[in-house]
Amino acid sequence: MRSFRIRVSVIVFPFRPANSEHSASRSAYQYPGHRIRMAPANDKNTIVLERGNGTSCSVNLHGATLTSWKVNGKEQMFVSSKAVFDEKSPIRGGIPIAFPKFGPWDDKPLHGFARVCRWKMESGADHLANGDIKARLVLEDNDYTRSLWGHKFRMVYTLLLGEQQLKTKVAITNPSKDESFAFELVLHTYFQVKDIRKCKVTGLNGLQYLTKRDDTETTTDKESSVRIDGPITRLYADTPPIHEIVTPEQTTSIIKCNFPDTVIWNPWEEVAKTIPDLSDEEYNQFICVEAGSFFDPMTLPPGGTFEASQSLCVK
């Protein structure tokens, strides 16, 4: 297992009022169209960050799942038309968070519990001097998580909404004084595309991949870019920090920090028909490019904090 021993102190992101002399933030009225709000009354779980000029993002407190990211009014995230919003099931689409396990987990929830727990918003949003908006959500251990995974922890999920960028950062802290724990972490991002057959993913040439977690035989990616013309599951280890999703309409950059592994996934037509919360033809409308750390679980010592992030940018 990878042993993480660099940071040993809890990292805190304090909320500073806009009028604090030490704060780089500005009040919302200085940036017309900038605000944070709850979605309409019939959707009490969704928080919306609006930067103005059609740029916004929405995050559901159930699973801290980001369900929308719009740049100049254009949606960048895919969410299934059959996605279930019952505060129990994982949400199909957006950016679900897989923690502390990626993939099957004995008789426990697939991809861990973070994506099916209710998170809390911490304090409020910061309106930064450059016009960006930052918000933080928090998940801490509770009776349910300890029944599945007997460790104390604190997760802080930070969203930073820029003009054409979205940064998502996860900080995991081990508050124990004497026990370490190991974990896996993946941001299971669903990118919306018009036609997956016209989509390609760069930054993986020459790397080896598995098609299942328990495979023993690897395959080397010999193409300059990954093109999708059928079902695909590829798990790459030790990948470069930058990938690009290239379509006829735009290029989206994915910049990873402290996420050594990458997953490319699409179920394609036949498997899509077996997924109850995915419409039969929707497989053609998304590609999952997932930043993660899962091949070798991270070990977090007592008092330690691990941070990892991905930054998405539309060109």
Catalytic residues: 188, 290
Rounded to 5 degrees, φ, ψ at 273 are -65, -20
Find, among 192, 136, 163, the residue nearest to 50 by Cα.
163
CA of residue 49 relative to chain centroid, distance: 16
Measured CA distances, 125 to 28, 115, 161, 238, 298 (Å): 10, 22, 11, 34, 30
Using CA atoms, how far residue 149 sits from 97, 105, 153, 185, 229, in Å, is 16, 11, 10, 14, 39
First to last CA, the chain: 37
- Write phi, then psi, for 144 (nearest 5 degrees): -65, -50
Q: CB neighbours (10 Å) of residue 8?
A: 13
Instruction: Quote the CA–CA distance of 305 and 308 in Å, as a whole number.
Output: 10
Q: What span, in angstroms and rounded, lies between the C-alpha atoms of 103 and 233?
A: 12
